[in-house]
Structure 1
Amino acid sequence: MRLFVATVLAAAAGLGSASFCPLPAHARGGRLQSLVCENATTTFLRGPAAQTKTTPLDYNDVNAGDFQQRYWVNTDHWDQASGPLFLSVGGEGPAHAPSGWGVELAKTFKGAIATLEHRFYGESLPAGGPAVALGMDKIKYLTVAAALQDLNEGIDHIVQQIGADPSIPVVLIGGSYPGALVGWHRVAYPSKTVAGISSSGVVHSILEYTAFDQAVAQALPSSCADVVRATTAAFDQADAAGGAAAAAARALFGSPATMSVPDFAYMLADSAAMAAQYGTKDELCSALKPSNDPNVLMQQFADFTNAHYGTSFGSNCFYDTDCLINRPNDWQPTSRSWRFQKCSEMAWLQTAPATGSLRSASLTIEALKQQCQDIFGMDTPTVDAINAAYGGDKPSTSWVFYSQGSDDPWKPAGINHTLSSTLREFTANCDGCGHCKDLHSPSSSDPEVIRHQRQLEVAFLDDVLRLHRRSA
């Protein structure tokens, strides 16, 4: 086994890099995209063309209508006699052709690989464009249960399209929310696939997710965290002053002067948090210098945010409750769809801790639930139902590999220890080990612990695929 794993990883490390972009769509306009998303433009041009399949909006009501769901298939390295099908699970943003570590696994195991875009994201929308498709009469069909059934139909469709034997072993791959879908699908439909790789999979839905901010504070150097706290206090002071001071603070990010205090605070908190989440905390800390001048603190934070995530980060619909209610022509699937999923089922409402908080104290559970009430008329996400249905952090299933990164603020919502011989977990502990880092294409600059994490994933897949061959 050791020789097999070493050979596989050495071969994968020599392969050309493919694009992998876990970033939310609203954060892809700046420097972070070039740091995190590898060769995005050229790889997308080289990838297979998108195809579409007709998918029902409601699997229990044929009269509800349907939509065109995008998917991509690559069989370049598939051994039809013995190779598996890897399915990359789409999530809360536009999907793209198979890429990153999943492609390397397909090459290693001589498998086909496909990507299925998640319903109500990217271009997989009901007819009528976002203003119609994301209205309440349609968006109600955006549920975890429907997304899991989409995976079933997607698997059947792709298996038939490529001419594979119906018994072909299928492996799901996903990171973050798609990582949760990987684990949840293995619980709900254990016979449909043989295994799953769940990177940074947030399988445990949490209503008041205070641990998120605490994890960011722990990941940052203490001196940097102190500057973030001082910067938050400067913005809070501007909001407390109101009027021109609050409007001027928002103008630094191109945010509307009327943007509410919780909305604005949520955007500011995300800017700092995502630096740790995506392994670029050094960029954040280099940009933020200690100062006794609140205006300096606010300006340097705005300069970092606009350069790192793009100038539309603070001005688009994603953080703006008023936009998500009243400006349907500005709705994007990522903003309104993801907010709906959080408000209806999964929550992860990121509140300010009582002490040591990096984010504004205005981010209370009441304020965040009020956003859900204002936008969708719902204020209590059904996290208990999700956790009961799929097991939360104690799932009743088998053959899932859960990977984590020590700097990832989503880690407390994941699986953080090996549960059994078939439910394995490994946390990569390193400075900068963030969200879904193992799903990127292998690089000579990867920390040794990330290489080891991938070795464990390869060994896991070798075990389950050999077991499947024996039982076939």
Structure 2
Amino acid sequence: MSTAQLLSNILLCLSLIFQCSFAVSPFGKIVPRFPSALIHPEMAAMGPMRPGYFTQVLDHFGFRPEGYQTFQQRYLINSTFWGGPWRNAPILWFAQNTGFMFEMAPCFNALLVFIEHRFYGKSIPFGGNKEVASSNSSTLGYLSSTQALADYATQITDLKKNWTAEDSPVVVFGGSYGGILFIENAAMPAAWFRLKYPHIAIGALSSSSPVLNFDNISSPYSFNDIITRGFRSESKNCCKVIKRSWNSMDAGYLQGWLQTALVYTAMTDYPTPSNFLSPLPAYPVKRMCKAIDDPSKEDDDFAKLYATASIYYNYSGGVSCFDLMDNSDSRGLGRRGWKYNYNHNYTCTSDSIVIPSPTWIPIAFGGHDIRRTLRRFGSNIIFFNGLRDPWSGGGVLKSISKSIVAIVAKKVTFNRRKLSMMGAHHADLLYSTNEDPKWLQDVRKKEIKIISSWISRYYRDLAKSSSQFRFSNS
């Protein structure tokens, strides 16, 4: 068997949507606006993505008649590199903004699959009516990480059967909530999926997933502290101007408008130009601080902050006027659905339709003993975190075992004196470029090496079990 045949597998990513609420609001008390520039499945590039719909059950665990309803769950599939079930080809299940998977697929002869999270995009229960689906807690009660994980397990199993790929291994990928599960603070689902369904996925790459952001396992102030540290590392004056600006803004929507720009720029402070949440230059935090430190603006804090926010909202130069009160869901992501999902399952802020369940995630996936839980019951999980990412405060930063590996972006020395923490939000999952720094190239090489070892081990075990089966029946 050739190396190409051996490494031919299925890469699978979990569909995630970017998290847009915070337990402790950074840089102030105003929650950032609902992000308008989110990535939808149809925006995934690099090769033809064929859309399809899977008939999914509404409730995987209940026995009430209304739970037997079904809805159409959207998925995208790319078979360009698929080696086929007879060439030991893996399935890679992926999320949005995961160009790394497209670049990896040819090496593994992999099938790429993108599953959309229930209640988002076009995967809306209750006849596809968003108003009905998000109308009250009775309908939104079916929007949970537990149901979403079961969706993925059901659909993956069905897909492998239809593609005659029962023996093809599945590797799941996720960034943020996708790293955990499905929504961008969406990397957690990939790790959770591996824990809950180890017989379906042989491993998970969980990038920038704050799996420790529950039950006060990590500091509730870490998100804010990391953002502050990032801006201060570029300019102490920059940080001071931002800090004192909150007292001069008496309009909540203005604070929210500015805070959104600062928070999301801190998260996407990539070393190369990007277009994740908004078109941005390389190292956008540095660019923001240069705008604040611009001597031509003298002591005009408002002019400085306007120039700063414009880097996030108008770097491309196509906007002539900002609507500070625009908090719309321009991509149809389901603002109320996400708010319910986040508040109910993760951190409750304020929503009249939510009955918070703050202890459920620690009970389901492990609380303060999550590291011990992972060590005893988990395996084949990669946790990547960049220390410049505000979510890294709730991430796994130290390897837990030989097979549960933490990869952390390293510190880099500038001018022989200054140390800067590197690595923004799931930077490893983005498309590679010729300008990628060496540390990022090394991270991806290490991830590929680990995933290759999972797949190789899977096929060795499969060959061994097949041989034993033939011997016992001879």
Where on the TM-score scale, by shorter chain, does this alignment land: which range?
0.7 to 0.9
Equivalent residue in structure 2 for 1:72, among 64, 73, 76: 76
SS at match of 1:444: coil
Equivalent residue in structure 2 for 1:390, among 365, 369, 387: 365
Distance in structure 1 (CA, Å) of the matches to 2:221 and 2:58? 34
Contact 1:85–1:111 (CA<8 Å) still a contact in 2?
A: yes
Distance in structure 2 (CA, Å) of the matches to 1:409 and 1:471? 40
Distance in structure 2 (CA, Å) of the matches to 1:104 and 1:458? 11
Q: Are 1:193 and 2:198 matched, yes or no?
A: no
Q: Read off the aligned partner of 2:106 and give its amino acid letter.
A: K
Q: 1:236 to 1:47 in 2, by over 3 A?
A: farther
User: 1:358-373, aligned counterparts within 5 Å?
Assistant: 371-373=349-351
Q: Which residue of 1 aligns with 2:288?
A: 284
Instruction: Output one character per residue of 1:4-41: Cα deviation in whole Å (capped at 9) or x when no partner.
Output: 99xx9xxxxxxxxxxx9986795455xxx9xxx8xx96
Q: Are 1:210 and 2:221 matched, yes or no?
A: yes
SS at match of 1:372: coil
Q: Which residue of 1 aligns with 2:455?
A: 465
Q: Which residue of 2 aligns with 1:85?
A: 91
Q: Are 1:408 and 2:389 matched, yes or no?
A: yes
SS at match of 1:172: strand
Q: Which residue of 2 aligns with 1:296?
A: 303
- State the shift of 1:206 in Å: 3.0
Q: Read off the aligned partner of 2:66 and give its amino acid letter.
A: N
User: 1:311-390, aligned counterparts within 5 Å?
Assistant: 311=322, 315-317=326-328, 332-347=332-347, 371-374=349-352, 376-378=353-355, 380-382=356-358, 384-390=359-365
Q: Read off the aligned partner of 2:382 and give its amino acid letter.
A: F
Contact 2:232–2:238 (CA<8 Å) still a contact in 1?
A: no
- State the shift of 1:421 in Å: 0.7
Distance in structure 2 (CA, Å) of the matches to 1:426 and 1:222? 23
Q: Which residue of 2 aligns with 1:176?
A: 176
Q: Are 1:148 and 2:149 matched, yes or no?
A: yes
Distance in structure 2 (CA, Å) of the matches to 1:308 and 1:139? 37
Instruction: Output one character per residue of 1:169-226: Cα deviation in whole Å (capped at 9) or x when no partner.
Output: 1100111111010111111111111111111122223367321010111122446464
Contact 1:169–1:465 (CA<8 Å) still a contact in 2?
A: yes
Instruction: Output one character per residue of 1:266-309: Cα deviation in whole Å (capped at 9) or x when no partner.
Output: 55333212212112322322332365334324433443343159
SS at match of 2:314: helix
- State the shift of 1:388 in Å: 2.7
Q: Read off the aligned partner of 1:300 and give its amino acid letter.
A: A
Distance in structure 2 (CA, Å) of the matches to 1:284 and 1:437? 20
For structure 2, the 5+ residue unaligned runs are 8-14, 21-33, 180-187, 270-283, 413-419, 463-474
- State the shift of 1:265 in Å: 4.0
Q: Which residue of 1 aligns with 2:465?
A: none
Q: Which residue of 2 aligns with 1:53?
A: 54
User: 1:54-133, aligned counterparts within 5 Å?
Assistant: 54-59=55-60, 60-61=62-63, 62-64=65-67, 65-80=69-84, 81=86, 82-88=88-94, 90=95, 100-126=99-125, 127-133=127-133
Contact 1:207–1:346 (CA<8 Å) still a contact in 2?
A: no
Q: Read off the aligned partner of 1:285 and give its amino acid letter.
A: C
| Percent of matched pairs sharing the same residue | 21
Q: What TM-score comes out, normalization by structure 2 length? A: 0.72
Distance in structure 2 (CA, Å) of the matches to 1:115 and 1:400? 19
Contact 2:77–2:113 (CA<8 Å) still a contact in 1?
A: yes
For structure 1, the 5+ residue unaligned runs are 9-19, 240-245, 247-260, 319-329, 348-368
Distance in structure 1 (CA, Å) of the matches to 2:123 and 2:240? 40
Contact 1:130–1:333 (CA<8 Å) still a contact in 2?
A: no
Q: Are 1:236 and 2:247 matched, yes or no?
A: yes
Distance in structure 1 (CA, Å) of the matches to 2:149 and 2:435? 36
Q: Read off the aligned partner of 1:67 and give its amino acid letter.
A: F
**Higher helix content, 1 or 2:** 1
User: 1:1-16, aligned counterparts within 5 Å?
Assistant: none
Q: What TM-score comes out, normalization by structure 1 length? A: 0.72
